[in-house]
Amino acid sequence: MRTTPTIRRADATDPPEAFTIEAPVRLEDRVAAALFAYADLFAAARRRQLHLLIWVVIALLAMAYYSSWQESGHLGARAFLSRFGADLLGLGGLPILVVAGPMLVYYLIQPALVRSRLKRWYRDERLDRPIGNAYRFEPGGIAVTLPGRGSALACRRIGGISESPTHLFIRLKDIEDVFALPRSALSGEQVAQIGAWAASCHVDGAGAARAFPELETPPGREPLLTARFELTEDDRAVALGWQMERPGTRRRRRRGFILAFLVAALIPPLLFGVLWLLDPERVPFRYAFPLFVEMFASTFWKWVLGLWAIMTAVILLHPWMRRRHARQLARQMQKRVQAYEHEVRLYDETLETWQDGFCNRFDWKGFERIERQGDHLILLRREGEPLILPLRALDGDKLAIFQRIVDHRIDGGSHRPEAGT
């Protein structure tokens, strides 16, 4: 199929022809999509680290400045500057190196850390197996079909396309997701086709006004239940809080805490070992070692206990810190997108979520179970991110109807909404 004429025609007023592309979603595509979709949040987190680093260095420099000024005996700028320079290059500069060094390293490797954390998260959530997506590009929008699920977006919910060396991203308007098509699965021709489609089908393009038949409910198909709600900051905080309490995350957190305890026990001897190694006039090992052992027996264990006490306090405070973090992140995320009214429709075979120009269709058999988290229901899916449904959307007898419908459809009805922890 030649696509060049299609592109020429797309430049005119005529809508381009519909076409379908099949592309896999593998672990790396999910990671790429998350990195792209939340690039601003990750960048902001990284910037915060840099700011913290700068302030810490300024504070340490100020301290060094003060002590140098005191020690230079107020003998003028020249004496001070030479003293200050000597202090910074000598032992006085060591705290700056010890504190700022690791912070700088952390700042530098942050993108790699984010990538590996995302990867771990998807693995823990069993989202690392590749699935095949079929993307149908139409003049009025895009329809994506994957096993057990379908999505449709009208052009007014398409933000446009972005390209990276590895992926072609289809940006979505006011939706915290992105379609990441791996370039390795696309031919040059297909990339050109998508480009031509995207030229008109986006929020400000000619396609925004076109209707998308996918998004029209066929007449006579009445839902068993309809629930409407607007996603608020609190809902997002609950969803984020839920994510932080996943088994994989908890396991890693526990492991991290245990590791921190072990590392804390090693810090004092390691610190002394490093200082000893750095000291050009160190006492030979055979004399120093018994003293080190004695230091551990007499003093270090107290430091270790102190560090452990601090860590225990952190662990005790951690649930509160997580909730606070979830709330902050929820606020940030809420600001990023315009709020739409969400509508959940329950049908005999499917559960559908609807927004203006955006619809998701999930087969009931794709759901695993339902967890209750306070005032929210979390609908867990076997393959994919869960759905969150605030109970306020199920007012009156809707909750009972919802439970009855769900009981029959999710795993033979054995799963009532469980009370979450």
Partner 1 sequence: MTKPLANSIATALAALALSVAAATSHAETIVMPHGLSVELPEGWHVDGSPEGEVSQTGLRRVQLVCDSEACRKTQETCTILMRSKEIEGADDAARLRALYASPLDRYTRLRAALRSTSKDAEIRKPLEIVRMGEREWYRVETDARHNYKSGLFAETVVSGLYVGGICKTCETGEERHRNGLKILMSLKSSAAAASLR
Residue ranges binding partner 1 (CB under 8 A)? 279, 281-284, 287-288, 291-292, 294-295, 298-299
User: For partner 1, which is the closer residue by CB, 298 or 338?
Assistant: 298
In angstroms, the CA 327 to CA 237 distance is 5
User: For partner 1, which is the closer residue by CB, 222 or 281?
Assistant: 281
Contact by Cβ (8 Å): 119, 113: no
Question: Which are the contacts of 409, defined by CB distance < 8 A and separation ≥ 6?
Answer: 364, 367
User: For partner 1, which is the closer residue by CB, 18 or 291?
Assistant: 291
In angstroms, the CA 368 to CA 52 distance is 43
In angstroms, what is the minimal distance from the CB of 286 to partner 1? Answer: 9
In angstroms, what is the minimal distance from the CB of 287 to partner 1? Answer: 6
In angstroms, what is the minimal distance from the CB of 273 to partner 1? Answer: 13
CA distances for 140 relative to 13, 157, 225, angstroms: 13, 11, 28
In angstroms, what is the minimal distance from the CB of 297 to partner 1? Answer: 9
SS3 content of the chain, % helix, strand, coil (to 5): 55, 20, 20
In angstroms, the CA 266 to CA 259 distance is 11
Contact by Cβ (8 Å): 172, 229: no
User: For partner 1, which is the closer residue by CB, 283 or 339?
Assistant: 283
User: For partner 1, which is the closer residue by CB, 274 or 291?
Assistant: 291
What end-to-end distance do the CA atoms of the chain give, in Å?
56
Amino acid identity for residue 224 in this structure: L
In angstroms, what is the minimal distance from the CB of 105 to partner 1? Answer: 29
* Rg, Å, the chain Cα set: 29
In angstroms, what is the minimal distance from the CB of 336 to partner 1? Answer: 53
Per the listing, tokens 């700068």 go with: 54
User: For partner 1, which is the closer residue by CB, 165 or 280?
Assistant: 280
